[in-house]
Amino acid sequence: MKVENKDAENDTMALLKHCEDAKKDDSKFKYAYTVDNEGKLQHIFWSPSPCFDWYTKYGYVVVFDTTYKTFVSLMDKPPKTILTDQDPWMTEAISKDMSSTKHSFCIWNITSKFSVIAKYNLESNKHVKGLYHVKDYWALPYLRDHFFGGMTTTGRSESINAFIKRFINSQTSLSTFFKQVDFAIEDIQRKEEHDAMLVKCRGSSLKTISPLQEQAHGVLT
């Protein structure tokens, strides 16, 4: 047990060291953490500089699948809209710390219950009635005036989780996880750059009156 505790302590220190080094190398790198009463790592949040840049440019809609206490302070601004599961603690935290943000519940988690309600005549059920009391969080008429980028569910975060799992497993240490997340982000960047290049090339046109040049352009590009 002592060996396991020592290994965990060393792993934590290695993770914090990686964060410190990343911050020294890149001023846009963001991280924060909390410790418990025994001085052990409790929560940690970090944002590599590409993620921070993406949020700065496009941070209108954010999908949360867990509770973050340091997000707004690190990312400098709250999002315009936020999608979460129907978690009462998260709802309370968002209303307090992101008062200017429109909070919406994942519509799939709610509408998937409707067929069960109709099948078993649960209209008078206390939980079902509760859904109507919070309808401004999920009913579309209450969301029309807000920008969600076409997203109405938290499914996007699930796909990100599945993507990250390609790079880690249950035995991955914290410090290795940190490095693997960087690899995952680099993989996303490379794909975006590749897609941008394809769009640019496909959108190019050759201004010429020579049939021979037009034919060569069609073959070689």
pLDDT in tens, 62-79: 877 665 557 777 777 888
Q: Is the dihedral of CA 121, 127, 128, 130 positive or negative?
A: positive
Burial of 180 (0-12, 13-18, 19+ CB in 10 A): middle
CA-CA distance, 2 to 116, in Å (whole number)?
Answer: 50
DSSP secondary structure letter of residue 64: -
Share of the chain above pLDDT 90, in %: 6
What is the reported pLDDT for 220?
Answer: 61
pLDDT tens track for 134-159: 889 988 889 888 988 877 777 666 67
| Helix ranges, the chain (H) | 2-25, 49-58, 71-75, 88-97, 107-111, 114-119, 126-133, 155-165, 174-202, 211-220
